[in-house]
Structure 1
Amino acid sequence: MPASHIIKELLEHPEDEMCKILTNMWKRNTETMGVLVNTFESLESRAVRSLRDPLCVPGRILPPIYCVGPLVGEGAKDGDGAERNECLAWLDSQPDQSVVFLCFGSKGTLSAEQLKEIAVGLERSGQGFLWAVRTPAGSQDAKKYLEVRAEPDLDELMPEGFLERTKDRGLVIKSWAPQVDVLRHRATGAFVTHCGWNSVLEAVSAGVPMLCWPLEAEQKMNKVCMTEDMGVAVELDGYMAGFVKADEVEAKVRLVIEGEDGRQLRARVAARKEEAEAALEEGGASRAAFVQFLLDVENIGEQVGE
């Protein structure tokens, strides 16, 4: 794990109160009777093995790790009375695995300049896209957006004529998209993500390859695992400098949607999807881990009662 990808506050400001709080939380994790993790063992086998290794923390036996995932949202269900989002109807008209979905989480925001750069890259790529755009970071409307979910002005944010020129193969939506449903749609072929863990699990469970654009917190560490260990993603160069250029967006979108490397990536993600499904089946690894957790809790209860 490169030091540059670790939460920077832990390296730059170790005496700050936030750093002390975080390290104390992690220390307390080692003193529990067990830890449930939203993952499945084959996805992060090396990390799980490390945490079970008696040499992980010298002089201390770590608590058992129970991998009980992937636990992700169900998405909308037919017949539940909810109105189907318009972006899903648009996806219905697109070819299979032809659309790149861009969404940066509930809090992820980019600058106005960066949004325009993404637009240029998407237009040049010639690929289909579904893009959830939020009010830019640093704008006068940013605070208002966080407070009342103010919608961004797409005509102002996008390059002149972009929406008109790409209307036949692209859709830009304001602020929010039904992410689980979009990822599970047959037309979705790639996912540009901020690498938040819920988003990662949703994409793996849907079998969708990812383009990594980590923004904050532990997302850069997730990116390393996604690209190096799991083999489910490629990175977008420039995120470390805080700006991804249009040429990089164009190249990586083309690579994943239509390139040979993209086909190999999709095959690896498809295999991970099968592993995720198997883990949650009756007798699967995650089901077995949860049963073991319940048994251990029962045993601890009996010991306490004695």
Structure 2
Amino acid sequence: MKQTIVLYPGAGVGHIVPMAELARIFLHRGYDVTMVLVPPPVESSDFGAGVVERITAANPSITFHMLRQYNEKLENFLCSIPRHRLHSLVIDMFGIDAIDVAAKLSVPVYTFVPSGASSLAVTTQVPALLANRKTGLKELRDTPLEFLGVPPIPASHLIQQLLEDPEDELCKTMARLFRRGMETRGVLVNTFESLESRAVQAFRNPLCVPGKILPPIYCVGPLIRQGASGSENVERHECLAWLDAQPKNSVVFLCFGSMGTLSLEQLKEIAVGLDRSGQRFLWVVRSPAYIDDPKRFLERLPEPDLDAVLPEGFLERTKDRGLVVKSWAPQVEVLHHPATGAFVTHCGWNSTLEGIMAGIPMLCWPLYAEQKMNKVFMTTDMGVGLEMEGYKTGFIRAEEVEARVRLVIESNKGRELKVRLAARKKEAETALEVGGSSYAAIVRFLSDVENLGKQLDE
């Protein structure tokens, strides 16, 4: 009889999608998989676009179970599975309270990190840094901070909540979250070892967190969403037909993720830069953010009125070389299209891996969460992107948009970047193949759980 692996992702596209891909791997290895979902506290644009419905439809072999009362319901659900059939519980990095449930039931529990090993190396070391401080890291501004396994990180580039006073409740909560997430039996990370080898090695160094032995790290990625273009039941998006008519490697794709919204002024500035650049472009435009009302940040935004948010005459002037899509485009299919030559990205980890798997040079425009850290890793150790310098001030001028898209499409520097991406793409593909590093990490994880079960039964 098959054993069941229970996956407990966090809310949001960036957490559910890679865990669904992890579920596919476990299914192929002969396990039953159940994903336990918790509805978000508010109806957000991130969830509101039918993300769960699309993932469920695309994965009929995965059982989905919706929880509405968190730990108590999780415990009841786990108890409904015969103990001899319950293989393990894999929780999202933000689901640390489930560790207590697993301990109560003697279920092996592991952490899943949908972001990369480099950002994990930083957040693993930050709690010790905060413990020795009387004031917040915010006052350090752009002072470079040294962490094992990664290049120097400007203090301002850490996750916002970690910059506050160490006694601030939100700061303490985030530090506790990152500290306790490393207290499970092991950590599965959505990366491949050759991409972030320095960071992976850091976890094995006793100086990473002095006085603490860290759990095994399993690099099981890249786990990215599967393209839908090959399915007969999925209607092909209109933007793909437009790309079919464009020359190879000629189009700049601009997309800022499921929650990446910009101000009205910034949207207009991008439009001016694209207009002046003369380059072909495919641009996903979402309605401007509620930047003056943080309480409304997660509200579902309406589709944008392009005539209202873009400069007068822009759509008409650029109609022969550009396409603006409202709110959403099939990013994986766009990135893999032969016409796509560059990707302007918010540096979300899923998007970063999707760009690497497509071999597309990236222009890095981080917006929130760990994205500024990702920008550092992408432009240094990984060598897969060039930064949009204006991100540091929170506003990127039309002149930089114009210059950067020309650089990556037309210049030798852009061509050199594409060569590096081709090499990274090959590394990623090799990691996933039988005998590759990520394939071996999955085998090692399953073996470790099996051996642990034998020890518990003795």
1:126 is matched with which residue: 278, 281, 298? 278
Equivalent residue pairs, number? 306
Cα separation, 2, equivalents of 1:143 and 1:134:
18
Aligned 1:61-100 pairs, distance under 5 A: 61-100=213-252
Counterpart of 1:190 in 2: which secondary structure?
A: strand
Correspondent of 2:369 among 217, 234, 237: 217
Aligned mate of 1:245, from 391, 397, 403: 397
Q: Distance in 2 between matches of 1:79 and 1:4?
A: 44
Aligned in 2, Cα 1:232/1:246: closer, same or farther, shift over 3 Å?
same
* Contact 1:144/1:150, CA 8 A, preserved across alignment: no
Identify the match of residue 262 of structure 1 among 393, 402, 414.
414
Aligned to 1:115: 267
Cα–Cα, structure 1 residues 236 and 193, in superposed 2: closer, same or farther, change >3 Å? same
Report if the CA contact (8 A) 1:135-1:142 is conserved: no
Q: In the alignment, which residue of structure 2 is the partner of 1:303? A: 455
For 1:55, what is the secondary structure of its paired residue?
Answer: coil
Alpha carbons 1:136, 1:142 under 8 Å: kept: no
Match of 2:317 among 161, 165, 175: 165
Asked if 1 retains the 8 angstrom alpha-carbon contact of 2:156 and 2:163, the reply is: no
Aligned to 2:165: 13
Q: Which amino acid aligns with 2:215?
A: P
1:199-214 matched pairs, under 5 angstroms: 199-214=351-366
Consecutive unaligned residues in structure 2, runs of 5 or more: 1-152
Tell me the distance in 2 between the aligned counterparts of 1:148 and 1:49. Answer: 41
Q: Secondary structure at the match of 1:4?
A: helix
Find the counterpart in structure 1 of residue 302 from structure 2. 150
Map residues 286-301 of structure 1 onto 2, 5 A cutoff.
Answer: 286-301=438-453
The alpha-carbon deviation at position 156 of structure 1 amounts to: 1.1
Unaligned runs of 5+ in 1: none
| Offset of residue 126 of structure 1 | 0.8
Q: For 2:440, what is the secondary structure of its paired residue?
A: helix
Whether the 8 Å contact between 2:290 and 2:296 is mirrored in structure 1 is no
* Residue of structure 1 equivalent to 2:87: none
* 1:235 maps to which of 368, 379, 387: 387
CA-atom RMSD in angstroms: 1.8
Please say if 1:4 is aligned against 2:149.
no
SS in 2 for 1:240: helix
- Counterpart CA distance in 1 for 2:294 and 2:209 is 43
Taking structure 1 as reference, are residues 56 and 23 closer, same or farther at Cα in structure 2, changes over 3 Å only? Answer: same
TM-score (norm 2): 0.65
More relative contact order, 1 or 2 (CA 8 Å, 6+ apart): 1
- Call closer, same or farther: CA 1:13–1:235 in 2, change over 3 Å: same
Kindly indicate whether residue 60 of structure 2 is the aligned counterpart of residue 60 of structure 1: no
Q: Go from structure 1 to structure 2 and tell me whether the alpha carbon gap of 1:79 and 1:213 turns closer, same or farther (over 3 Å shift).
A: closer
